[in-house]
Amino acid sequence: MTLISILDAATTVTRSPFFNPMAFGVDDNSTICALSTPPGSGGIAVIRVSGPAAFRCTRSLCPFLPANPESHRVYFGTARELRGADAIDDVLVACFATGRSFTGEETAEINCHGSPVLTASLLKELVEAGCRPARPGEFTFRAFMNGRIDLVQAEGVLSLIESQSKSAARAALRQLKGRLSAELSKIEDGLVWILAQLEASIDFSTEGIEVMSSEAVCDRIQDVITSCDRLLDSYRQGRLFAEGLRIALVGRPNVGKSSLLNALVQEDRAIVTAIPGTTRDLVEGRIMVQGIPVTVVDTAGLRETGDEVERIGIERARQALEKADLVFHVIESSRVLLDEEKADIAALVALPGNDGADRHCILINKIDAADGDAVAARLRELAAVGVTKQTAKIFEVSARTRHGLEELEELLATKVRADVSEMSEVVMQTRHFEGLQKIHSCAARALALITKDESAEFIAFELQDAIRAIHELLGKEFNEQVIDRIFKEFCIGK
Ligand SMILES: Nc1nc2c(ncn2[C@@H]2O[C@H](COP(=O)(O)OP(=O)(O)OP(=O)(O)O)[C@@H](O)[C@H]2O)c(=O)[nH]1
Ligand SMILES: [Mg+2]
């Protein structure tokens, strides 16, 4: 392999020759239109028109638009029906010239009053004028196809629309602005540089010239691995930004789970009674902790039961326990722990690593109605099955007096606290995480091969694989299934 061929294989933008844009709904000359604001009534609504005939089609119903509208200018006038010229609404039309819009195409945005009747009329007239209704995500898809954004940025658009918190929105906006793409490109540059060194060392080796010491090459591969590690580490935070934290309150009937939910979210979400078995279904409440949404899930009390409804509720409780990022096992301070209660807690808390003490906490509730001896007795019962304040997080709380809740909130704050600085990129999508894992393992294998003094071709093979993974992430390498999956998640009008 020559230097050029190695670099070519690594850096050429590979669009599958079989790629058929039609399969994605791109009949390239069409002009598309859609409502870009949520359907329903509102102050204003925005209809987006994009494609080569965007201005002409819009002018058909907005005759006040000049023949050659200025880019980034807003025109005001009355939109009228094509046939009959009846007035539909007074509108503002913002015009964006080819190459200067989000999609990269000629674009008009019609701002009308936010009534479903008006938007339906305007869209009908636009179709009559020659537009076709846009498919979900098609504006963003066109931006991607026209090279305005890469695939990672397109996913940033989706994350931004879906973000549930300020932190998620901030991270998504950075992704949309290309910060994560830039990080990936930097990794790619590093890999391409290493490939070039490898090739040069093959070419010059017969002449006894060492182009670059293998230590220097190793250092550069190590840099790539470190960058991947940093991004992979940010994924936990990214998931938190995107989805928030889920906490499940579980335990025997009547221990005060519903009361704790209500106390934590400071709202009467769940029914509380002195009758064991009150809660049947999952009841959720939501709070924001340091800008991250935290969902607290109250569950049915765990016990043997012949009641069909309760049995299903308990099954759901077990599923909620599995899915939660954090589990609060609630026990009562003045009641002797049941054997099965102790066994359940001990089995979960003793799980190794993240799934053990990190994920499971014990709340000794109703502390207001208990004396110190009772609490000490509960702690002894827990210690007898290996659960102590050294091996697990144990909190003494009262849903009634709010005793200990501040400590719980502090625990949540530590869980969600950004361990990444404001300025670093955060990986939020599973696709990116998996891609980075692949790049990481290719680089690690390349490093191992260099250390073993293996042939440069083998090393180059691993590095090319890593570069291909970056291309797939950015959408430079066309993977129809991936692209199809991404854009399917979008709503119409985006
Ligand atoms: N003194 C005291 N009583 C409490 C406290 N928390 C809950 N209770 C009482 O305990 C009883 C049961 O409370 P719930 O919150 O319904 O208990 P639960 O665990 O949701 O019960 P199930 O839904 O049946 O599983 C009610 O009478 C509550 O008023 C507390 O911190 N202190
Ligand atoms: Mg309950």
Question: What structural domains does the chain harbor?
Answer: 1-25+150-228+433-494 (1.20.120.430), 29-134 (3.30.1360.120), 241-266+281-302+320-416 (3.40.50.300)
Alpha carbons 306 and 148: distance in angstroms, whole number: 61
Residue closest via CA to ligand 1's atom 11 equals 274
Index of the ligand 1 atom closest to the CA of residue 403: 31
Q: Best substitution site from 249, 257, 258, 259 to test ligand 1's pocket, by max atoms within 8 Å of Cβ?
A: 259
Task: Give SS3 for 4.
Answer: helix
Joined together, the tokens standing for residue 339 give 């054997």
Tell me which residue of 135, 136, 138, 108 sits closest to 122, measured CA to CA: 108
**Residues 130, 31: contact at Cβ < 8 Å?**
yes
Index of the ligand 1 atom closest to the CA of residue 330: 19
Residues framing ligand 1 (Cβ under 6 A): 253-259, 272-274, 276-279, 300-301, 365-366, 368-369, 398-400
Alpha carbons 310 and 321: distance in angstroms, whole number: 16
Q: State the pLDDT at residue 15.
A: 36
The bound ligand whose nearest atom lies closest to the alpha carbon of 254 is 1
Using a CB cutoff of 5 Å, list residues around ligand 2, an ion: 258, 278-279
Alpha carbons 325 and 246: distance in angstroms, whole number: 5
Q: Best substitution site from 269, 272, 368, 402 to test ligand 1's pocket, by max atoms within 8 Å of Cβ?
A: 272
Tell me which residue of 483, 470, 473, 436 sits closest to 152, measured CA to CA: 473
Tell me which residue of 331, 324, 328 sits closest to 393, measured CA to CA: 328
Query: Among all chains, which residue has been given the structure tokens 């070419």?
Result: 203
Q: State the pLDDT at residue 12.
A: 38
Alpha carbons 149 and 104: distance in angstroms, whole number: 10
Q: Kindly report the backbone phi and psi dihedral angles of residue 156, in degrees, each rounded to the nearest multiple of 5, phi listed first.
A: -65, -40
Ligand 2: distance of its center to the CA of 358 in Å? 25
Q: Which residues neighbour 158 within 8 Å (Cβ) at sequence distance 6 or greater?
A: 137, 140, 486, 489, 490, 494
Question: Residues in the chain with pLDDT < 70?
Answer: 1-28, 203-212, 352-356, 418-423
Joined together, the tokens standing for residue 335 give 């009641």
The bound ligand whose nearest atom lies closest to the alpha carbon of 276 is 1
**Residues 421, 452: contact at Cβ < 8 Å?**
no
Ligand 1: distance of its center to the CA of 273 in Å? 7
Ligand 2: distance of its center to the CA of 246 in Å? 18
| Strand-strand pairing, 245-251 and 326-332 | parallel
Instruction: Provide DSSP, 167-213.
Output: HHHHHHHHHHTTHHHHHHHHHHHHHHHHHHHHHHHHHHHTTT--SS-
Q: State the pLDDT at residue 14.
A: 36
pTM for this model (two decimals): 0.73
Residue closest via CA to ligand 1's atom 13 equals 256
